[in-house]
C-alpha cells in the first residue's frame, strides 16, 4: 500500500494483462460472521485483508472461535451459536461498520456480558434503529455514551419472537442484514418474521445477505422485499469452504480501464457473471459507453470498442458506488453524460457529488451539478490540466481518478493521501501499475549522485519512501559484480574486463528491503565492507563492466517512479531525469560519518586511514575515463556537511515539488 502524502501517476499510455481482485469487504465480513455462528469448520478463501476484516477477526477470536490465517485463506471453527466465554468481553470495533452492526445483533440475541466501542467517529455513527428493533425482541442493550450511538453494553436477553419484527426500510440496509444474520440463531421453535416498513432501499445489499444465508443453510422466505421469514428449525450449517467474491465496485476501475485503453484489454478475476452483487450491473453501463465485455462465472474480459466512448445518461441509483467511475470515464466520451438519481452520493464518505464536481473541474472539465445529479462534459486534449486530486478520505475518489492518468494530453495526475484506498483495496495502485504501461521517458526519475559516504544512500532511500518510488542503489551493483568476479577467480583489472562484464550481464540479483541476494546467497554484509567498496571502485572503472550494467539499471525505471543513487545516475544512466541532485560533504565530515558507522559495527579503524581511503577512492572515481564522478550540468548541488538528514530530504523534496506541474489549489 502507498502510505505517502501523495502519489503522482505519470501519464499512462495503455494497459493489458490480468488483475486478480481482492475479496469484497461486505461479503468478507458477512462470511466471517456466518462461519463463526456455524458449528464446525469453514475454510474461507480470498478473504479481504483490511481494517474491517481485522476488527471482525479479532472479535471472533475474543468470542472463542478458532481462527487460522494463511494469506487470504482463513479457517474458522465456529461457535455453534453460543459465545464460549462467560466472562465479560470488551470488543473494540475501530471504525468498522460492517463488523459493528452484525456483531451487535448476533451478540444481543446470543446474550452475555459484552461491551462494544470504537474510535470517536464510530461513536458518531447511529445505531439506534437496530438497537430499538433488538430491544423489542427482548434483547438487553444499554448505551454507554450518547443515546442512539455506540459504545454499547449487551446483557442476557429474554426473547419474545412471536410477533413480527418491524424495521424501517429507509435506514441503513446493514441493520436489516444484521437482524437477518442474528435471528437464525433463535429460530428453533418458531418462524421469525421481519416486516419492512416503507420501501426498502439498498435491495441489492439485502440480496447479498440472503444469498450468503442460503449458502450457510438458512432459506429465508423473501416476500417481495417487504417481509422476510426465517423458517422455524433453521440452523446454520457450514458450507465447508467458501470463496469470497471480489468487490464489484472495485472491478469498476478495471472495467473502465479496459474500456479506455487500446489493445488486447484487461482480464479481471474474482468477480463475473455469477456475482451476487448489485454493482456488477456496472458492466452494462460500461457496455453502453462502448466497452466490449466477455465473461465467465468469476471473470470478466474488457476491451475497448467504441472510441471515443459514447456519452451516457441514466438513472444510477442501483449502482451508486460504481457509478463514480462513470463520471471519470465521461471525460473520454463523445458528448455530455448525465448521472441521475444519485442523491445517496451526498451522504457517503464525503459529499461525493460536490467532491467529484470539484475534482473533475480541477482536471479542466466543465461539470454541472444538482441535488441528485451530475453532468460531465468531455475534455479535449488541449483543455486537460495537471491536477492534484484531493481524496477526502474516500477510497473511491482515489481509485476512480486514477483513470484520468490515461488523458490524451499526456499529463500526470497527483492523488493525495493514496492510502485511503486501504478501506477496500489496499493494493489498488500496485494492481494498476502491474497492468498499466507508460513510456519509460515519462516515468519520473530523481537522481542522487555524489562521492563516497556523502549520505546518498540514506537520502535517496528516504526520498524513495516518501514519494512511493522504486529505489536503485547502483553502487550495490558494482559491489555485487566485484564480489561475484572475485568468487569466480577473476582479478579486477583491465585484462579481465570482458569476462567480468559477461558475468555482470548474467547476475541473478534480488533486492529485498535491506537484504541483497546473489542467487541463493545473502550477500548483504559481504558487499558492505570497506574492502568491498574498494573492489567496487576498481571494477567500476572498467568500461565493459559499466556498459554491461546499463540495461539492468534502466530496468529499475518502473511505475510510478524511481530514485537512483550513484556516481553517474544524472550524467550517463538517466540523463533525462526530472531532478538531479549532486550531494557532497567535506572529506573530513564524510570520514567522520564513516568512522562512526564502522565503530558502531565493531570495526577498528582510524580517522586518518578512512580519510585517506575516501580521498583515494574519490580520486579514482573522478579521474576514470568512463563516466567519471562529476555533477551533471543541470544538477542541484547540495552540501550536507552541516545539514541533518531531514533538512536534506526537505530541500530535495522542495526542488522536486517545484518541478511538478500540479495545480495544488487547497480544498477544504
Which residues are 397's β-sheet partners?
Answer: none
243's grid cell: 470463496
Residue carrying C-alpha cell 473520454: 332
Considering the rule CB under 6 A, would residue 557 count as an interface residue with ligand DC? no
- Residue 304 as a binder of ligand DC (CB under 6 A): the answer is no
Q: Can residue 540 be called a binding residue for ligand DC (CB under 6 A)?
A: yes
Residue choice 479, 496, 580, 590 for contact with ligand DC (CB under 6 A):
479
Q: What gap in Å lies between CA 542 and CA 538, rounded to an integer?
A: 7
Closer to ligand DC by Cβ: residue 469 or 478: 478
- Residue 546 CA to residue 536 CA, distance in Å, equals 11
Of 372, 434, 376, 373, nearest to 401 (Cα)? 376
Stretch that binds ligand DC, among 125-133, 253-261, 391-399, 470-478 (CB under 6 A): 470-478
CB of 560 to ligand DC, least distance (A): 22
CB of 7 to ligand DC, least distance (A): 27
Q: How far is the CB of 417 from ligand DC (least distance, A)?
A: 34
Question: Three cell numbers at 514?
Answer: 535491506
- For ligand DC, which is the closer residue by CB, 264 or 628? 628
Cell of 43: 475454510
Q: Which of 52, 321, 417, 449 is catalytic?
A: 321
- Whether cis (ω within 30° of 0) applies to the bond prior to 151 is yes
Site map 621..640 versus ligand DC, x via CB under 6 A:
x-------------------
Binding segment (CB under 6 A) for ligand DC, from list 236-244, 433-441, 469-477, 598-606: 469-477
In the complex with ligand DC, the residue whose CB is nearer, 127 or 482, is 482
Rounded least distance, CB 609 to ligand DC, Å: 17
Q: Which residue is nearest to ligand DC (CB)?
A: 475
What proportions of the chain, in percent to the nearest 5, are helix, strand and coil? 40, 20, 40
* Shortest separation between residue 564's beta carbon and ligand DC, angstroms: 8
Is residue 367 within 8 Å of residue 375, measured between CB atoms? yes
* 375 makes contact with ligand DC (CB under 6 A): no
Question: Does residue 478 touch ligand DC according to CB under 6 A?
Answer: yes
326/523 with CB nearer ligand DC: 523
Q: How far is the CB of 117 from ligand DC (least distance, A)?
A: 51
How many chain residues interact with ligand DC (CB under 6 A)? Answer: 16
Q: Closer CB to ligand DC, residue 416 or residue 613?
A: 613
- Separation between Cα atoms, residue 66 and residue 57, nearest integer Å: 10
Q: How far is CA 407 from CA 217, 289, 368, in A?
A: 49, 17, 21
Longest dimension (CA), the chain: 95
| Residues constituting the chain | 668
If one asks whether residue 455 binds ligand DC (CB under 6 A), the answer comes out as: no
Q: All 3 cell numbers of residue 134?
A: 433488538
Q: Which is nearer to ligand DC, 236 or 478 (CB)?
A: 478
From the list 268-276, 349-357, 562-570, 585-593, the region that binds ligand DC by CB under 6 A is 562-570
**What are the angstrom distances between the C-alpha of 567 and each of 288, 451, 503, 582, 620?**
54, 7, 22, 9, 12
Q: Which stretch binds ligand DC (CB under 6 A): 250-258, 503-511, 534-542, 645-653?
A: 534-542
Dihedral sign for Cα 473, 477, 483, 486, please.
Answer: negative
Asked if residue 474 binds ligand DC (CB under 6 A), the reply is yes
Residue ranges in 491-520 that form contacts with ligand DC under rule CB under 6 A: none
As given in the structure block, the three cell numbers for residue 230 are: 426465517
Which of the stretches 49-57, 338-346, 472-480, 594-602 binds ligand DC when contact is defined by CB under 6 A? 472-480
Span from 47-55, 243-251, 516-524, 565-573 in contact with ligand DC (CB under 6 A): 565-573
Among 118, 290, 475, 560, binds ligand DC (CB under 6 A): 475
The residue (of 185 and 476) whose beta carbon lies closer to ligand DC is: 476
Closer Cβ to ligand DC, 290 or 566, answer by number: 566
Q: Which residue has the cell 471519470?
A: 328
- x-marked contacts with ligand DC along 424-453 as a string, rule CB under 6 A: ----------------------------x-
Half-sphere exposure of 70 (CA within 13 A, CB side): 6
Cβ-based burial of 646 (10 A; exposed 0-12, middle 13-18, buried ≥19): exposed
* Interface positions, 589-618, toward ligand DC (CB under 6 A): 617
Least CB distance to ligand DC at residue 438 (A)? 24
Q: Nearer to ligand DC by C-beta: 358 or 535?
A: 535
> Is 362 near ligand DC (CB under 6 A)?
no
What is the closest distance, in whole angstroms, from the C-beta atom of residue 287 to ligand DC in the complex? 51
As a whole number of angstroms, the distance between CA 79 and CA 138 comes to: 22
Spatial separation of the C-alpha atoms in residues 638 and 622, rounded to whole Å = 18
**Dihedral sign for Cα atoms in the order 415, 416, 422, 427:** positive
Among 536, 559, 614, 632, interactor with ligand DC by CB under 6 A: 536
Please write down the HEC assignment for all residues of 603-650: CCCCHHHHHHHHHHHHHHHHHCCCCCCCCCCCCEEEECCCCCHHHHHH
Shortest CB 521 distance to ligand DC, Å: 18
274 in active site: no
Report the nearest approach of ligand DC to the CB of residue 482 (Å): 8
Q: What is the C-alpha separation between 266 and 15, in angstroms, rounded?
A: 7
CA distance 531 to 406: 48
Q: 623: Cβ–Cβ under 8 A, 6 or more apart, which residues?
A: none
Residue nearer to ligand DC on the CB measure, 364 or 475: 475
Is 537 among the residues that bind ligand DC (CB under 6 A)?
Answer: yes
> Contact with ligand DC (CB under 6 A): which of 157, 533, 560, 561?
533
DSSP, res 333: B
Q: List the one residue from 352, 419, 470, 567 that touches ligand DC (CB under 6 A).
A: 567
Q: With the CA atoms of 478, 479, 484 and 486 taken in that order, what torsion angle do they form, in degrees rounded to the nearest 10?
A: 110
Candidate residues 118, 151, 444, 566; the one interacting with ligand DC per rule CB under 6 A: 566
Name residue, grid cell 502491474.
Answer: 434
Closer residue to ligand DC (CB): 479 or 496: 479
**Rounded to 5 degrees, what are φ and ψ at 152?**
-125, 155
Q: How many CB atoms lie within 10 A of CB 489?
A: 8
Name the one range near ligand DC by CB under 6 A: 224-232, 371-379, 564-572, 646-654: 564-572
Q: How far is the CB of 501 from ligand DC (least distance, A)?
A: 14
Instruction: Pick the closer one to ligand DC by CB: 265 or 475.
Output: 475
Q: How far is the CB of 615 from ligand DC (least distance, A)?
A: 12
Closest Cα partner for 97 from 540, 387, 424, 421? 424
Say how far apart CA 180 and CA 158 lie, in whole Å.
Answer: 19
Query: Cell numbers of 432, please?
Result: 494498476
Among positions 568, 570, 583, 635, the unique one binding ligand DC when judged by CB under 6 A: 568
Q: List the catalytic residues.
A: 321
**Residues within the interface to ligand DC (CB under 6 A):** 452, 474-476, 478-479, 533, 536-537, 540, 566-569, 617, 621
Amino acid at each position: 500500500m502507498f502510505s505517502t502524502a501523495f502519489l503522482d501517476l505519470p501519464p499512462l499510455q495503455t494497459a493489458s494483462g490480468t488483475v486478480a481482485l481482492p475479496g469484497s469487504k461486505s461479503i468478507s465480513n458477512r462470511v466471517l460472521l456466518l462461519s463463526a455462528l456455524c458449528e464446525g469448520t469453514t475454510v474461507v478463501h480470498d478473504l479481504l485483508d483490511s481494517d474491517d476484516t481485522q476488527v471482525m477477526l479479532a472479535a471472533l477470536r475474543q468470542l472463542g472461535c478458532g481462527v487460522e490465517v494463511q494469506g487470504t485463506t482463513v479457517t474458522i471453527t465456529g461457535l455453534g451459536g453460543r459465545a464460549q466465554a462467560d466472562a465479560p468481553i470488551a470488543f473494540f470495533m475501530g471504525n468498522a461498520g460492517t463488523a459493528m452492526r452484525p456483531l451487535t445483533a448476533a451478540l444481543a440475541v446470543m446474550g452475555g456480558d459484552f461491551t462494544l466501542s470504537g474510535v470517536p467517529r464510530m461513536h458518531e455513527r447511529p445505531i439506534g434503529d437496530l438497537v430499538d428493533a433488538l430491544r423489542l425482541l427482548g434483547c438487553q442493550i444499554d448505551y454507554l455514551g450518547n443515546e442512539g450511538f455506540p459504545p454499547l453494553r449487551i446483557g442476557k436477553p429474554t426473547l419474545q419472537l412471536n410477533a413480527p419484527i418491524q424495521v424501517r426500510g429507509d435506514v441503513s440496509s446493514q441493520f436489516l442484514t444484521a437482524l437477518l444474520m442474528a435471528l437464525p440463531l433463535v429460530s428453533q421453535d418458531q418462524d421469525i418474521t421481519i416486516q419492512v416498513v416503507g420501501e426498502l432501499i439498498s435491495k441489492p445489499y439485502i440480496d447479498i445477505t440472503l444469498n450468503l444465508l442460503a449458502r450457510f443453510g438458512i432459506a429465508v422466505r423473501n416476500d417481495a422485499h417487504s417481509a422476510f421469514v426465517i423458517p422455524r428449525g433453521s440452523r446454520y450449517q457450514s458450507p465447508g469452504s467458501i470463496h469470497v467474491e471480489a468487490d464489484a465496485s472495485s472491478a469498476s476501475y478495471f472495467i473502465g480501464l479496459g474500456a479506455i485503453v487500446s489493445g488486447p484489454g484487461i482480464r479481471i478475476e474474482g468477480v463475473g457473471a455469477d456475482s451476487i452483487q448489485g454493482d456488477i450491473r456496472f458492466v452494462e453501463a460500461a457496455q453502453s459507453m462502448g466497452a466490449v465485455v466477455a465473461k465467465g462465472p468469476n471473470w470478466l474480459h474488457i476491451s475497448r470498442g467504441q472510441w471515443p466512448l459514447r456519452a451516457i445518461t441514466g438513472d444510477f441509483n442501483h449502482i451508486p458506488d460504481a457509478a463514480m467511475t462513470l463520471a471519470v470515464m465521461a471525460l473520454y466520451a463523445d458528448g455530455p453524460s448525465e448521472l441521475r438519481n444519485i442523491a445517496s452520493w451526498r451522504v457517503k464518505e464525503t459529499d461525493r457529488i460536490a467532491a467529484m464536481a470539484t475534482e473533475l473541474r480541477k482536471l479542466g472539465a466543465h461539470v454541472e451539478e444538482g441535488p441528485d445529479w451530475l453532468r460531465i462534459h468531455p475534455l479535449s486534449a488541449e483543455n486537460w490540466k495537471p491536477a492534484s486530486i484531493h481524496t477526502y478520505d474516500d477510497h473511491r475518489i482515489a481509485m476512480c481518478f486514477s483513470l484520468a492518468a490515461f488523458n490524451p494530453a499526456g499529463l500526470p495526475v497527483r492523488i493525495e493521501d493514496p492510502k485511503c484506498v486501504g478501506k477496500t483495496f489496499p493494493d489498488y495502485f500496485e494492481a494498476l501499475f502491474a497492468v498499466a504501461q507508460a513510456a519509460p521517458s515519462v516515468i519520473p526519475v530523481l537522481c542522487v549522485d555524489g562521492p563516497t559516504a556523502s549520505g546518498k544512500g540514506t537520502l535517496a532511500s528516504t526520498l524513495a519512501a516518501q514519494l512511493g518510488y522504486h529505489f536503485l542503489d547502483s553502487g550495490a551493483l558494482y559491489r555485487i559484480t566485484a564480489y561475484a568476479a572475485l568468487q569466480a577467480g577473476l582479478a579486477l583489472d583491465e585484462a579481465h574486463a570482458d569476462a567480468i562484464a559477461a558475468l555482470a550481464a548474467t547476475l541473478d540479483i534480488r533486492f529485498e528491503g535491506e537484504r541483497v541476494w546473489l542467487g541463493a546467497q545473502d550477500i548483504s554484509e559481504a558487499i558492505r565492507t570497506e574492502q568491498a567498496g574498494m573492489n567496487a571502485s576498481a571494477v567500476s572503472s572498467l568500461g565493459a563492466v559499466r556498459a554491461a550494467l546499463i540495461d539492468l539499471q534502466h530496468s529499475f525505471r518502473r511505475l510510478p517512479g524511481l530514485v537512483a543513487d550513484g556516481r553517474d545516475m544524472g550524467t550517463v544512466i538517466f540523463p533525462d531525469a526530472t531532478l538531479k541532485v549532486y550531494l557532497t560533504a567535506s572529506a573530513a565530515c564524510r570520514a567522520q560519518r564513516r568512522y562512526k558507522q564502522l565503530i558502531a559495527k565493531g570495526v577498528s579503524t582510524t580517522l586518518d586511514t578512512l580519510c585517506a581511503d575516501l580521498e583515494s577512492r574519490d580520486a579514482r572515481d573522478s579521474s576514470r575515463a568512463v563516466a567519471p564522478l562529476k555533477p551533471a550540468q543541470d544538477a542541484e548541488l547540495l552540501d550536507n556537511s552541516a545539514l541533518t538528514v531531514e533538512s536534506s530530504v526537505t530541500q530535495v523534496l522542495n526542488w522536486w515539488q517545484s518541478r511538478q506541474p500540479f495545480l495544488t489549489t487547497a480544498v477544504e
